[in-house]
Structure 1
Amino acid sequence: MIEGVKEKKCIHHVDDRGFFMELVREDEALLERFGQLSLSMSYPGVIKAFHYHENQDDVWFFPVGNAQVVLHDLREDSPTYKETNVFYMGETNPIVLVIPKGVAHGYRVLGTSPATIVYLTSQAYNPNAPDEYRIPWDDESIGFDWETKNR
């Protein structure tokens, strides 16, 4: 796994009223600090990729729908430099994913329903000095094939 990436299985507490799930707790040491909590919805087939941050870590969770999440390590001093990881996240696999600064990340919505992502960042977004750097979804240096293969 890419150095610094953390995956946490989520535990549902279920009863006849529904369920409760803790996503991120301060005593788990997933983030150095907390900056912002955000939510986004994307339609089936949409690819939102790639971007990375120089100063902030992200925590991703998909409570609705399913997504193929792709990470690519851009950190030259990392033992996993240029490594790519793929995670399948969402309703059918509820996990929390910590994405460290310097790791490019993006996702593709799977299935026929929209997906919702809830994400935390270790710092708040600053529109005057955004810590967000874009890479095209089909960048040749990453070389990721987003197409799902039938087996």
Structure 2
Amino acid sequence: MPEISQTAPDFTLPATGGEEVTLSALRGQPVVLFFYPRDDTPGCTKESIAFSESREDFEAAGAKVFGVSKDSLASHEKFAAKRDLTIPLLSDENGTVCEDYGVWKEKNMYGKKYMGIERTTYLIAADGTVAQVWNKVKVPGHAEAVLDAVRAL
């Protein structure tokens, strides 16, 4: 798990809209990566909608925002279309990026242990270093808190 002031692990992942996103190619501007467990589940939907509704504010602050999960690109495209999402979603099907960022963790639900993505957001500064990390994110008010942090950079 990269820590504050460390260089964020680079990656190239497929994105909704037919693009590929390479983190190092975005140097010179802040980048927000919000890792979420699954497409079209209640918390993930609320979080993705909140970031989409704030997209213009993030752009005005000079930042790019991406959602990341292990769902397939086809699943992301369906989710984005169904929920009118404007934030690009990145598909990390093999889980390499999730592991590099330390969000692939053992979880426990109703006494059953399983592996999954822990809802986590990274703010990466224009120089490619980690500026802030939010672990075990609670969705209400989160997109606004991240936007405030971007503006404070």
Same structural fold, with TM-score higher than 0.5 when normalized by the shorter chain: no
Q: TM-score of the superposition, structure 1-length normalised? A: 0.30
Greater fraction helix:
2
TM (norm. structure 2) is 0.29
Which has the larger share of strand? 1
Whichever of the two has the greater Rg, that structure is 1
